[in-house]
Amino acid sequence: MPALLGALSLTLAAWLVRGGLRAQAEFDARKVARKPALPRKILGAVCGGIGAALAVTAHQDGFALLSPLLYGIIATGLYLAAFGLDPLRSKGMDGIDTFQQDRVARVVDEAEKHLTTMHETILRAGDRQAKARLEDFSDTARDLIRTVEEDPRDLTAARKYLGVYLQGARDATAKFADIYARTKDAQARTDYLALLDDLEKNFAARNRKSLLADRSDLNVEIDVLRERLSREGVRLD
């Protein structure tokens, strides 16, 4: 029984540490970020220590507490030394009220999910140029995300880009991938690449402007993007 529990603890430790490393990478990539809600690396180190202690218990004669305890403490320390601690404080949020923090976090998380889905979806098309072009657009979209994180005072303007229009781009990507995977339609590929070109230009233009710029210009850009996505068969509510 101790051997089985030890194996389960070590497996759980590996899963927690893996999740903690991913959360750390996302945290480090952002200039404004909340600390992870769950300190996965620390919990993984504890589970690793418990697993090591149980493994020692399973392979010793009789019952002795000292050896398993020492091995468990050493294993926990090695986990922490190898993988480090989880971020324990949020960063870049000084001077921003809690409500605004939540708004920024929701918009950024939604935008990143749309981009991740697009990259997963485009693989179905099996087209390297479309994949590379999507990478370029994603870089431009993430530039806008970073701008919003640094200066969230006028989030509403950029929110339409990072929410509504990324969602439209995600749907257009899914439609292109399905069509191109079945038919290898050259026109569908051309239309999709042209859509990415238009989106990237408008995202870049939005990013160059101050988030406090004249709203009338923003409305014109939004109408252009909405019309373009509508021509691609993507309806935006």
- pLDDT tens track for 90-116: 776 665 556 666 777 788 888 889 999
Considering the domain architecture, whether residues 107 and 67 belong to the same structural domain is answered as no
| Sequence letter at residue 116 | T
Query: What is the band of 214 on the pLDDT scale with cuts at 50, 70, 90?
Result: very low
Domain-terminating residue out of 32, 53, 83:
83
Residues contacting 162, CB < 8 A, separation 6+: 107, 108, 110, 111, 141, 144, 145, 148
Axis crossing angle, helix 128-150 with helix 98-122, rounded to the nearest 10: 180
Considering the domain architecture, whether residues 122 and 203 belong to the same structural domain is answered as yes
Q: Which residue has the higher pLDDT, 66 or 227?
A: 66
> Most distant CA pair in the chain: distance in Å?
79
The backbone torsions φ and ψ at residue 126, rounded to the nearest 5 degrees and listed phi first, read 70, 35
Q: Give how far Cα 205 sits from Cα of 43, 100, 108, 201, 211, Å.
A: 44, 24, 19, 6, 11
Considering the domain architecture, whether residues 139 and 175 belong to the same structural domain is answered as yes
Considering the domain architecture, whether residues 48 and 119 belong to the same structural domain is answered as no
Considering the domain architecture, whether residues 147 and 216 belong to the same structural domain is answered as yes
Residues contacting 13, CB < 8 A, separation 6+: 44, 45, 46, 47, 48, 51, 79
Considering the domain architecture, whether residues 79 and 103 belong to the same structural domain is answered as no
Whether 88 is covered by a domain: the verdict is no
Q: Give how far Cα 136 sits from Cα of 123, 132, 148, Å.
A: 15, 7, 19
Considering the domain architecture, whether residues 60 and 118 belong to the same structural domain is answered as no
Considering the domain architecture, whether residues 138 and 212 belong to the same structural domain is answered as yes
CB 103 within 8 A of CB 111: no
Can you give the pLDDT at residue 45?
A: 93
Rounded to whole angstroms, how far apart are CA atoms 114 and 46?
34
**Domain count across the chain:** 2
Domain-terminating residue out of 83, 113, 143:
83
pLDDT, tens digit (0-9, with 9 covering 90-100), for 5-34: 888 999 999 999 999 998 888 788 776 677
pLDDT, tens digit (0-9, with 9 covering 90-100), for 159-206: 788 888 888 899 999 999 999 999 998 899 999 999 999 989 888 888
Whether 131 is covered by a domain: the verdict is yes
Considering the domain architecture, whether residues 52 and 19 belong to the same structural domain is answered as yes
Considering the domain architecture, whether residues 161 and 52 belong to the same structural domain is answered as no
CB 130 within 8 A of CB 194: no
Whether 212 is covered by a domain: the verdict is yes
Between CA 98 and CA 50, with CA 88 as vertex, the angle to 5 degrees is 135
Considering the domain architecture, whether residues 139 and 225 belong to the same structural domain is answered as yes
Rounded to whole angstroms, how far apart are CA atoms 97 and 94?
8
Single out the residue of 80, 71, 89 nearest to residue 32, CA to CA.
89
Region 28-55: what's the mean pLDDT? Answer: 85
Domain-terminating residue out of 21, 55, 83:
83
- Domain holding 226, by residue range, is 98-231
Single out the residue of 140, 134, 170, 171 nearest to residue 158, CA to CA.
140
Considering the domain architecture, whether residues 79 and 189 belong to the same structural domain is answered as no
Whether 79 is covered by a domain: the verdict is yes
Rounded to whole angstroms, how far apart are CA atoms 19 and 1?
27
